[in-house]
Structure 1
Amino acid sequence: MPNATVKRQFRLLAVTVVIAPLAYWGPHLVETVSDLEVFAVREGEIEVRGIERLTKQTVVSLLGLGSMASVWGDAAVWRERVTADPLVRAVEIQRKFPNGLRVTVEERVPVAFAGRSMLEPLDAEGYQLPIDPTAPALDLPIISSESRGPDNAGLFPEEVRTLAAELEHLNATRPGFANLISTIRLHSKGIVAVRLHNPDVEFIMPIRTEGVRIKEGESALGHIMQLRSGRPPAEVDLRFLDQVVVRPERSIETISTYMAGGR
C-alpha cells in the first residue's frame, strides 16, 4: 500500500505528464485540459494580495468561479468581474498549478471628500468610493467646488477630478505638508488655494508645484510666525518666480517678500 508521499509523487507525475504536451503543442490542448478535474480551482488555493478594505472572501466571490472552474479558465473575464467593484482600480491574475490562482488587487485609495448631497470620499482619479464617510480612519481634506454632479454618478466633474489629482501630487511630493491640508479649491486658472489646519493659513500656488518650492513657502511661513509671536498670516503666495509673498490679510497688504531660499 503506497504511503501519502508516494501518492503525492504519483499525482505530481500525472500532472506533469498532462502539462508537458502543452509546451509542445501549445494552446490547442488548453480547451481539453481545462476540463480535467485535476485542474479544478480550489478556494483554499486562491491567494489574494494587495487588499486593505476588501476581504479575500469578497474578491473570491467577485471572480464568479463555478464548482468546476479550471485554472485554465478565461483570466480576462475574471479580471473584468473583479474590476467592476468600485473599490478596485486594477487586478492581475496568475495561475498557480495545479489548483490555485494568485490575485493581486490594486485598490482605489480615498484622497479627499467632495460634496454632492453629502460629502463623499473619492480617489485621485475622481471616482466616488463606497466607504462610510464617518469611518474614524477617514481623516481627509475637503475639496471645495461648486461642481458636484448627480448623486448616482460614479465619477465627479472635471474640476473636482483636477483637485483630487493635485492632492495625490502633494501626497507624493510633500507628504508632511499634505497631511496638514484642511481644504483645497481652485483659486484661478491653473492655480490652487490650499488651506492648512495647523497653522491656519492658505497657500496659493500653481498646480503641480514641486516639493522644494513648497518647502521654501514653509520656511518663509515659519520665519514670519516667529516675528508675529506665533500668529500665522492669512496667505503664503508661491505664484511668483523666486519669491514667496506672505500676506497678513487675504490679498490686501503684503507683509514681506522672500527670495527663494531666504529673505
Structure 2
Amino acid sequence: MADGSFRHETRLERRRRRARARLEEPRSRRGLRFLLLVVVGVLVAVALTRAPDALARMELFQVQEIRLDGARHLTVEEVRETAALPPGFSVFDERAPVARRVEGHPMVARARVSRRWPSTLVVEVEEREAVAFHATPTLVVVDREGQPLPLDPVLHRLDLPVVEAATPGGLRRVATEVARVGEMEPGVAAVLSDAVALPDGSVALHLSDPDVVLLYRPPLAPARLRRGLRVLTDALDRRPDRMPSAVDLRFADQVVVRWGPTPELAALPPTPNDP
C-alpha cells in the first residue's frame, strides 16, 4: 500500500511539473502555435472551396447524359436543346439557370434539375396539360390558361373538346372552365363536345350525350354543377320524348331548363369532326 501511494504521488508531481512548464512557455511560442493553426484552417477552407472548381474541369464530371422524368409528351432531345448546356458543363456547375431555360419551353410548367454522379443531369418536369382545341380556324392545342401547346393532335391522338372565344381573356376563361369541369365531373368531360366564351362573361358547354348545352357564369361550383345535372336528369325522365336544348345555371338559386331556341346558342360552333 505504501508503494502504491508513492507511485501515485510521483504521477501527480509529474502532472504538476508539466502544467508549470506549459505556463512558463514563452508567449511568442504559444502565439506561433495559434497562428499556425489559423493558417492551416484557412488553407483547408480554401482547398474545400476550390475543390469543385478543380473537379469541374475533369472530364469525368462533365455532363454526358440528360435523363428526363415526369414527361408525357416532351422528349429528351427537346429538353437537351432547350437546356442549351455550354461545352464542358459539369455536374458541379449552377443548375438553376438550366431549370429556368427548360421552363421556357411551352410544354413545361415547372422544372427541377438535379445531378447524378458522375456525369448525369436529371431533369424533372411538370408538363402543361392539354385541355382543349382552339378553333383558329385550324385546331390548336391549348392548356387551361389558353396558351398554345406544340402538340400534333394526330400524332398524339388527342381527344379534346373545341373551345371558341373572341378575345384572349375569353379564351383563358373558357379553357379554365373546361379544365375545372373535367376535374369536378369526369363524366361530363367525357361527353363535352365544345365550349364557348359568351360576350356577357358566361360560358356555354355543349354536351354530346345528351345533346344539351349548360349555360353558367364562371367559376362554376361543384354543387351547382351537380344540381344542374340532377335537374337535367329529372327533365329527361319527365319528358323522354322531348330533349331540352339548354340548362341555364346563370340565375342565383335557380336552374332553368329550356326546350326552345335560346339566343345565346347562336354563338355555338358546329360540332367539328375529330382531328
Offset at 1:195?
A: 1.0
Contact 2:165-2:174 within 8 A present in 1 as well? no
Query: Could you tell which deviates more after superposition, 176-185 or 59-68?
Result: 59-68
For each residue in 1:201-251, what CA deviation from the matched residue of structure 2 results, as whole angstroms up to 9, or x when unmatched? 011112011122111111111111122226420111112233221111134
1:101 aligns with 2:112: no
SS at match of 1:93: strand
Matched residues, number: 221
Offset at 1:119?
A: 1.9
Offset at 1:188?
A: 4.7
Contact 1:39-1:98 within 8 A present in 2 as well? yes
| C-alpha separation in 2, matches of 1:22 and 1:203 | 71
Q: TM-score, normalised by structure 1?
A: 0.74
Q: TM-score, normalised by structure 2?
A: 0.71
| C-alpha separation in 1, matches of 2:223 and 2:53 | 57
Q: Which has the higher helix share?
A: 2
Offset at 1:24?
A: 9.3
Counterpart amino acid of residue 61 in structure 2: F
Counterpart amino acid of residue 255 in structure 2: V
Offset at 1:62?
A: 3.1
Offset at 1:50?
A: 0.9
Q: Which has the higher strand share?
A: 1
**1:58 alignment counterpart:** 78
Structure 2 stretches lacking a partner, 5+ long:
1-42, 264-275
**1:244 alignment counterpart:** 255
**1:41 alignment counterpart:** 63
**1:220 alignment counterpart:** 231
For each residue in 1:35-78, what CA deviation from the matched residue of structure 2 results, as whole angstroms up to 9, or x when unmatched? 233322231xx331111112233323433335632101231332
Displacement over 6 Å in runs of 4+: 21-26
1:83 aligns with 2:94: no
Over the aligned positions, Cα root-mean-square deviation in angstroms equals: 2.7
Contact 1:221-1:232 within 8 A present in 2 as well? no
Offset at 1:145?
A: 2.0
1:124 aligns with 2:122: no
Q: 1:205 aligns with which of 209, 216, 222?
A: 216
Contact 2:173-2:197 within 8 A present in 1 as well? no
Structure 1 stretches lacking a partner, 5+ long:
1-20, 148-156, 253-263
Counting aligned pairs with the same residue, the percent is 33
